[in-house]
Structure 1
Amino acid sequence: MRLLQNFIARITDKEVDLINKARIQMLVFLLVAYFLFGLSLVLAYSYTNQVPQMMRACVISGFSALLFVMLYCFNSWRIISHFILMLITILGVWANLLFFVKGVNAATLQYIWLASALGFYMHGNKWGWIYTILNIIPVLIDAMFSKGYFFLNNGAQVIARPIYIYVLVFDFFAIAFLHYYFFKAFNKNIITLTETKNQLNDINQRLNIKVDEIKKLSNARMSFLSTMSHELRTPLNGVVGLTNVLLLQEPRKDQEETLSVLKFSAENLLSLVTDILDFNKLESDTVELERIPFNLSELVENIYASTRLKASEKYLEFRIEVADQLKAVNLMGDPTRLTQVLLNLLNNAIKFTEKGSVRLICSVADITNKDLKVRFSIEDSGIGIEVNRQQEIFEDFIQASSSTNRNYGGTGLGLAIVRRVLKLHHSVVEVESVIGKGTKFTFDIVYHYQDKIEVAHGSSVVTSDHNSLSEMRILVAEDNVVNVMVIRKTLNRVGINPAVAENGREALSMHLENNYDLILMDLYMPEMDGYEATRKIRQIEDVVKSAIPIIALTATVNNQVEDDVKAVGMNGYLSKPFHANDLFAELRKYAN
């Protein structure tokens, strides 16, 4: 019995379907049973000298053994089951009708039931009906032409009654076994499927709980990063702002060098904080591209102005080239995100280039009546990137080599941010690089375009006379002493001496009592925050006071803040640390 179980296990090892496993097991048991049954009949018929019956028993036993070996060697159970069904049909039903019985008796009916049941159980509906019809047809023909419809005796070839009863009993048990075993396997399969379904439901419930926990964790992480960003940007605002103020006060050369290092370090730290926050916003798919007009030539000039100093400090040749066709039109898109991509790539190019040149080339790759495909190329003569690392550098927190971070620093997020922002533009960046000779990054972005008009840019370098701002009356609502100092000194540069309120309640009171042209409003203050103060100002009955321009100033940077300040009625938004020219550009909008 153990040998038979090992044999079945070997054959069913590669089967996944539980029903097919049951079919193979059922087939093995039938072959073994009919082999032994055939042998017993051979002995019985030889004893009673029934030669034709003995020959049929030999065929049954021999074919059972042969099919058993074939099943072991080739594992083709479907073909073997067809052989068995044909043997039952030919040797059991047709042979009885034409030779052994010459009519329909109990044994003939048993073979019909056996073939029909085995056909359905082994091969399904189609073959089940085919074998049923093949076995029923001779019975119907016999019923049409014979006088006797059915009898229980032996028929033409008389056999001993004990042997005949033995055959009937065996066939009945074979039919019963088919039904029992198949439905046992069927029920087991149903129970297994039900248990599996319940397990899957349980797993799904646990997965849903885990997903909710991950979402909460992600939200908590975003909240933490937003809070940390606010907490880091607030002191950085003081450091960067006051450093800029000191640099404008004509310091001694040694002081200027120290202040420049201080400014560089603070801005580098600010860049790292901004990268981490931007990366998390892009990772959470909360970023949507703006669609506003901008002039690419002006944008690139501003980028050049902000990165030129870094290149000159390393004595690099730094050039920008913008096609004339691009200078003559305004593009419709997101200048902030494009600036982010170009700055990341240019800063990387400058960082990894010790001598030689860095170039930014903006050309027209294709143009139609409405759309213009701009090709951006950033080339450098730096250290280069190994071929097998050229795609890895765009992965999160990955740099070109383990020595890169030691030698050059950085979080490894810059290029990951580039890839994610370009994905929002339906674009990808291509890399060409040779170790020791340099690297070239290229990407295309499709923009709608229009004839050039004047476009205001908060990030533009303002060269207009500051005298137009000197008469503005500004109220600053800010609770941080350092930030107040930075804002006051920055505004003093253009002749503005602002009034200061320490919280939103005081700002509201001062606004009601005095006349101001604009309010710079911090969002998070004690007693009353900037949101609530703005709501109350917008509810003032005096239409002039209720319409005063309010610019939000905050160290918290995320998409929700921008939406929130607009929702309460603020007119603009500047993040800390802010560039002085950005602040002056906002003030100039309301100077008149």
Structure 2
Amino acid sequence: MIHLFQPIENFVIKLAKPETDPINQARAKMLSYILILYLPFTAILTVAYILGGQTLHLIRVSTVFLAALMLLGLIYYTRAWRLASHISLCLLTFAVWSNLSVYVQDINVETLQFIWFACALSFYMHGLKWGWFYSAINILPVIIYTGIDSKNYFYLGSGPQEVNQATYLFVTAYNFLLIVYLHYYFFKAFNRNFINLTQTKNELKELNEKLNTTLSDLKKVSNTRMEFLSTMSHELRTPLNGVIGISNALLLQDPRKDQEENLSVLKFSAENLLLLVNNILDFNKFDSDKVELEHIAFDLSTLLKNNYCSLKLKAQEKMLDLKLSIADELEDKIVIGDPTRLTQVLVNLLNNAIKFTESGYVGLYTETIDLSDTLITIRFTIEDTGIGVELHKQQHIFEPFTQASTSTSRHYGGTGLGLPIVKKVLKMFNSDIEMVSNVNTGAKFFFDITFPYLVADSTIIHKPLDAKYELAHLKILVAEDNPVNILVIKKTLEQWNIVPTIAENGLFALQKLEQGDFDVILMDLYMPEMDGYEVTEAIRSLNNKKKANIHIIALTASVNNNVAERVKKSGMNDYLSKPFDPHHLFQKLKKVGIEAPIVYGT
């Protein structure tokens, strides 16, 4: 940048300051410097032309001097540097035309300088469109002038206007200097910005590489965390399967009143621990966006009754009245959705309501909000007469690891994951949870879910669980290596008068299937010799199509994100996690006689 005087520099900076774009700032500064430099240039020429008595030259140079002053004022007061640059380009074009027609009546160095100046300035100031326009109107007259024979085509005066050699040399040199400065200044600004952009690009590249490295490390940590939690879950769920399974079996054997109470406490404690483990794992799954809803047919009214029954004992232990109200429209409908995730929402909310209610009642209510030929919208409401939540804390309880207060955590326990999971699951259902609560007057949570539905028929509605002999004809092969799990499965099946065949590893399971006939295989996934996936693939490739198409239900304590996908890919028919609810296993075994067999191979 050429520094004439510091005040001029400050003045130019002030003119360009409103522009935020560095390129536009450079344009505004460049135009301002050109106009300022033209002031002494035209002033000197004015004196020279007065002394030389050259009237026409004096008129033109005086006009340029005044125009430069006016344009500087235009930029200063209105910031309209674009308009000022257009006027400047028009004046340059006028200078070219006037040289051809009046002052020189020929093409000389000065005229070529004006043309070069106009072309460069138009491109630098306004870009391609205006650059081509101003270049055309400056160059075309020269081309036309050169292409015609008559030298009088542009002749308007009495002849060429002579100028002395010193003046001519001054004008020519000054114009060359301006042209050089124009290129110098703009490309200096352009180069500086280009260097800055390059440096910024390199910095962003380095930052992206660091971010990618960090993301990769975070992904590894996340995967390691999930693997650890999955392993710990498997190790916790395996003994819990034994505790809950044996508790269920003993409760069905008509125990004494004191024994029933002890078993109920044992089962309740184990199920609470299982709920805690499931919540921690599910929260990590939701955090990784690795959870998808199922879309299966189920009886919503039956699901509500089952949830009610499963928590009734817990409410009775606190002497609470557990209420249930089911919308009449649900009695004859089978809805399509994810019963497991819906149960998770209801159980979390009901458990919370029971936990934080010392006296009174807890209610689960449903009502129909909208009903069409194919869709039904149900409002679920969970209401209690518990401790309630202060208004300013109501949004915080949906945040992970957060409870209404530290005293709540100390008094009632819990991890603060139940409600955040509820919120995440409902988001997957395209719903959101609302609450109304006051301190010491209870709380009401409600949400709406829209389900596609079918009208129930006799093939979908199942008989009660107490049909002990309904499954007695089934021949079941159990592939399981854990002695506790074997005991649980045997006692569970024996209550339905089923005597299973046990295979202690995958290889034995394959051998027993080849030696005998079975209707169902309950397949553990992780066994010695051959795991459940390998055994299933071997079964599906058997030449005996009846045995190759046997119904296989996976039973596992593993909760890896890809278990369900691997189960389906390997050729298994269904999936049930341990510890399992006997009712769920009962329903899956009933389907064996209802569903058509799936044929693998040809």
**Fold similarity call, TM over 0.5:** yes
Aligned to 2:532: 530
Q: Helix, strand or coil: the match of 2:443?
A: strand
Residues 150/579 of structure 1: CA separation in 2 closer, same or farther (3 Å cut): closer
Rounded to whole Å, the distance in 2 between the matches of 1:457 and 1:207 is 55
Aligned to 1:582: 584
Does 1:379 pair with 2:383?
Answer: yes
The residue correspondences of 1:390-469 to structure 2 (distance < 5 A) are 390-401=394-405, 403-454=407-458, 462-464=465-467, 466-467=468-469
Q: Helix, strand or coil: the match of 1:556?
A: coil
Aligned to 1:122: 125
Using the TM superposition, name which of 323-332 and 36-45 deviates more: 36-45
What do the CA deviations read for 1:85-121 (whole angstroms, capped 9, x no partner)?
344455x457667876688765455434433432332
Using the TM superposition, name which of 281-290 and 269-278 deviates more: 281-290
Residue 395 of structure 1 and its aligned partner are, at CA, apart by: 4.2
Residues 268/45 of structure 1: CA separation in 2 closer, same or farther (3 Å cut): same
Using the TM superposition, name which of 37-46 and 262-271 deviates more: 37-46
Residues 161/572 of structure 1: CA separation in 2 closer, same or farther (3 Å cut): closer
Residues 429/457 of structure 1: CA separation in 2 closer, same or farther (3 Å cut): farther
Unaligned runs of 5+ in 2: 595-602
Residue 254 of structure 1 and its aligned partner are, at CA, apart by: 6.4
Residues 22/546 of structure 1: CA separation in 2 closer, same or farther (3 Å cut): closer
Does 1:165 pair with 2:166?
Answer: no
What do the CA deviations read for 1:15-69 (whole angstroms, capped 9, x no partner)?
4544323323322331332123234334545655667756765654565456446
> Is the CA contact 1:361–1:376 (under 8 Å) kept in the aligned structure 2?
yes
Count residues with an aligned counterpart. Answer: 587
Rounded to whole Å, the distance in 2 between the matches of 1:529 and 1:407 is 45
Residue 403 of structure 1 and its aligned partner are, at CA, apart by: 4.7
The residue correspondences of 1:45-444 to structure 2 (distance < 5 A) are 45=49, 48=52, 57=61, 60-61=64-65, 63-64=67-68, 67-68=71-72, 71=75, 75-89=79-93, 92-93=95-96, 106-128=109-131, 131=134, 147-148=151-152, 158-183=162-187, 185-186=189-190, 214-245=218-249, 247=251, 259-401=263-405, 403-444=407-448
> Is the CA contact 2:49–2:55 (under 8 Å) kept in the aligned structure 1?
yes
Rounded to whole Å, the distance in 1 between the matches of 2:307 and 2:362 is 13
Rounded to whole Å, the distance in 2 between the matches of 1:89 and 1:162 is 25
Residues 517/10 of structure 1: CA separation in 2 closer, same or farther (3 Å cut): same
Aligned to 2:481: 479
What do the CA deviations read for 1:154-208 (whole angstroms, capped 9, x no partner)?
9766544212210121112223333444455556666666666676667666666
Aligned-residue RMSD, C-alpha: 4.2
What do the CA deviations read for 1:423-455 (whole angstroms, capped 9, x no partner)?
333333333444443433333333232222146
Residues 178/379 of structure 1: CA separation in 2 closer, same or farther (3 Å cut): same
What do the CA deviations read for 1:111-159 (whole angstroms, capped 9, x no partner)?
34433432332123444455456667988999999855799xx976654
Rounded to whole Å, the distance in 1 between the matches of 2:260 and 2:583 is 21
Aligned to 2:567: 565
Alignment TM-score, normalising by the size of structure 1:
0.82
> Is the CA contact 2:15–2:29 (under 8 Å) kept in the aligned structure 1?
no
> Is the CA contact 2:297–2:335 (under 8 Å) kept in the aligned structure 1?
yes
AA in 1 matched with 2:466: T
What do the CA deviations read for 1:472-518 (whole angstroms, capped 9, x no partner)?
66544332233233334444545556554432223344555566665
| Percent identical residues | 51
Unaligned runs of 5+ in 1: none
AA in 1 matched with 2:564: E
Rounded to whole Å, the distance in 2 between the matches of 1:297 and 1:482 is 34
Rounded to whole Å, the distance in 2 between the matches of 1:201 and 1:415 is 41
Q: Helix, strand or coil: the match of 2:449?
A: strand
Q: Helix, strand or coil: the match of 1:427?
A: coil
AA in 1 matched with 2:340: T
AA in 2 matched with 1:324: D
Residue 463 of structure 1 and its aligned partner are, at CA, apart by: 2.0
Q: Helix, strand or coil: the match of 2:376?
A: strand
Q: Helix, strand or coil: the match of 1:275?
A: helix
Rounded to whole Å, the distance in 1 between the matches of 2:266 and 2:334 is 38
Rounded to whole Å, the distance in 2 between the matches of 1:539 and 1:128 is 76
> Is the CA contact 2:102–2:154 (under 8 Å) kept in the aligned structure 1?
no
Aligned to 1:41: 45
Residue 307 of structure 1 and its aligned partner are, at CA, apart by: 1.9
